[in-house]
Structure 1
Amino acid sequence: MAAPPSEAAEAAPDVIAEAELRQLFDYWQARRVGDRLPRRAAIDPIEMGGRLLPYVMLVELLESGTRFFYRLVGTDVAFGVDPTGTVLNDAVPEGGYRKHIVELYCLGAASRNGLYARFGYGTRPLGPHTPTAVSRLFLPIEERDGQPAMMLVGQMWSGPSYRNASLWQVTPERITREALFRLTGAA
């Protein structure tokens, strides 16, 4: 398994490698007012358009940001299994992968300027030595009182096609950290 997500370094948003995720960061950043997080009312998935929406999730933070409810899941993220309307623990099988994902989401919820993560996964559906990389961008949103109540999450994958197996149901034999950064202020 990879190093614990809590060991994230800090970096400017230029570390975001995927153009769509960088565009999502810019969308989120443009809706901030000073140092305040964007409010939920300022985030409009339809306004994001067809280029970003397939990679977007709106995730509600429950129990002080330790449980996560999927309000919206884009089509590219949802392939195979659409977790919209469920909590993360019901969407991802129990085990090391779920623990890894929960740790990432918790770190994302606590990262006021966002969190960028890219991990490689060696998975059974494609063979234990077939890595697929998944990049995620976690961007907190406030509902009221200045505290994060939701996250705008972008997720993209690269590598062999998963169209025969949903990422929500894989149990990777290997998880390799490629990038993990708490984002600092605007680039």
Structure 2
Amino acid sequence: MRERASYIREGLWLRPLEDPTLLRDRHQRAMFEYWLAARDGADLPLPSRIDPVELPRGCLPYIMVKEHEPGTGRYRTRLTGTAFRDASGFDGTNLYSDEILGNAGTLERFNWAVANRQPYWYQGPLSFSVFDYKKFSALVLPFADPGQPVTRLVAVFDFQPDRETKP
């Protein structure tokens, strides 16, 4: 499958993402390479592979772990990295994504990742932050047990000045 780029909701959405060399941010690239290796021949890595000790060095502050509840379709934030919190002015730990204002586009993309069992990269305005001058990019990686629905999404963030960048 080839990456498809499209502009949606004032942002660029690259899906599915298959080539780590397209990522400029070192944390996103390192996590994507980790995700690819953690699949270990399966279509997706196991949720148990989301282990802070195993994750690439330096990535933890930039990630957010979402728990997908297949029965309700909701996403609860299990972990918010400190770099995310500092750059966005927001800590969503223990909140559901549908409780966060300005998150409709994010939910659309999360649902795509869950339904397609594929990672994606997105760049757009920081609509969920107290800072309106920043843009961000996010690499979102799905995790699931074999033959089961996706139960975890790991997002790796890069916060940028208000200018257009490429993956």
TM interval, short-chain normalised? 0.7 to 0.9
CA shift for structure 1 position 108: 2.6
Q: Quote the residue 1:84 is aligned against.
A: 93
For residues 115 and 124 of structure 1, the distance between their equivalents in structure 2, rounded to whole angstroms, comes to 21
Using CA pairs under 8 Å that are at least 6 residues apart, name the structure with larger relative contact order, 1 or 2: 1
For residues 125 and 84 of structure 1, the distance between their equivalents in structure 2, rounded to whole angstroms, comes to 16
CA shift for structure 1 position 121: 4.7
CA RMSD of aligned residues (A): 3.2
Tell me, yes or no, if structure 1 residue 67 matches structure 2 residue 69.
Answer: no
- Gaps (5+ residues) in structure 2? 1-6
Which of 101, 116, 121 is equivalent to 1:116?
Answer: 121
CA shift for structure 1 position 89: 1.9
- 2:15/2:119 contact within 8 Å kept: no
Q: Which has the higher Rg, Structure 1 or Structure 2? A: 1
- In the TM superposition, what whole-angstrom CA distance separates every residue of 1:41-71 from its partner, at most 9, and x where no partner exists? 1221233255100111111112458421111
Which of 147, 150, 153 is equivalent to 2:149?
Answer: 147
Choose between structure 1 and 2: higher helix proportion. Answer: 1
Instruction: Call closer, same or farther: CA 1:78–1:121 in 2, change over 3 Å.
Output: closer
Q: What SS does the corresponding residue of 1:22 show, helix, strand or coil?
A: helix
Alignment of 1:1-187 (within 5 A): 3=8, 10=16, 12-13=18-19, 14-48=21-55, 51-63=58-70, 66-79=73-86, 80-90=89-99, 92-93=100-101, 97-121=102-126, 130=133, 132-159=134-161
TM-score by length of 2: 0.75
Q: What SS does the corresponding residue of 2:60 show, helix, strand or coil?
A: helix
**Residues matched between the structures, number:** 156
Q: What SS does the corresponding residue of 2:107 show, helix, strand or coil?
A: helix
- In the TM superposition, what whole-angstrom CA distance separates every residue of 1:67-111 from its partner, at most 9, and x where no partner exists? 211111111112333211111122x22xxx321221122223234
Counterpart of 1:112 in structure 2: which amino acid?
Answer: R
TM-score by length of 1: 0.68
- Gaps (5+ residues) in structure 1? 161-175, 181-187
